[in-house]
Amino acid sequence: MLDSKEDQKEFVEEVQKILFTTYKINLDIGTERSWYDKEEFILRHDKHPPLCSGYLFRFEPSELYVYELTIDGCEGVPCNTAEEAALIVKRFYTHEYHFEEDRSETPEDRIPDGVYCHGPIHPVKDPSKPLGVRFEAPQRCPYWTTRPDRHPQDNGFCTYLNKGDGDDGIWLLWDQVKACGIKDGMDEDE
């Protein structure tokens, strides 16, 4: 994929150019520190409130994800080319892209079990790996996000609670430690 920062920046610049020339959408390029203290590229706009500042590009070792940062959390879509990424951003921007939700589930149903804002790491059989197994990344809580204007160890935010690090005794959301207490396995007495 795109290993160097220069390659990643060129990719995001190409997406920005396609968005403007093809869809007449003008967005600014910025960077943001991720929860694991890695700098990531973002296309910013002022269409949403400050906590919903744009579209984040996460360059994983084998895949690229585009995330829309919204008040409801963030949803990621994998893509392979600048054209695909621009189309995804355009669909997010114009609200054409809606993730299918099971309307019978409650917001609490979407929160993962455990004390963290993500589920467990899952082993998956994979004969191509030396030990015959690979580990899938845990699914992150849809309500967990970060505030781009804050320090990486003080930028966690829960859209379910509408609170973040520094609010009402909340201090570890940046590290994805739950503040909501939902399905955390802890009794009230503990």
Handedness of CA 114, 116, 117, 121 (dihedral sign): negative
In the predicted structure, residue 91 carries a pLDDT above the cut 50: yes
- For the chain, what percentages of helix, strand and coil (3-state, to nearest 5) are there? 20, 25, 55
Range from 42-46, 77-81, 159-163 carrying the lowest mean pLDDT: 42-46
Q: Name the percent of the chain lying above pLDDT 70.
A: 74
Residues 6+ apart with CB under 8 A from 170: 156, 158, 161, 163, 164, 179
What average pLDDT does range 44-60 have in this prediction? 59
Q: What pLDDT is stored for residue 61 in this prediction?
A: 58
Q: What pLDDT is stored for residue 17 in this prediction?
A: 92
pLDDT band at 170 (very low <50, low <70, confident <90, very high): very high
Q: What pLDDT is stored for residue 72 in this prediction?
A: 52
C-alpha closest to that of 59 among 7, 135, 118, 137:
7
C-alpha closest to that of 40 among 178, 166, 154, 146:
146
In the predicted structure, residue 46 carries a pLDDT above the cut 80: no
The residue among 15 and 79 whose pLDDT is bigger is 15
In the predicted structure, residue 15 carries a pLDDT above the cut 80: yes
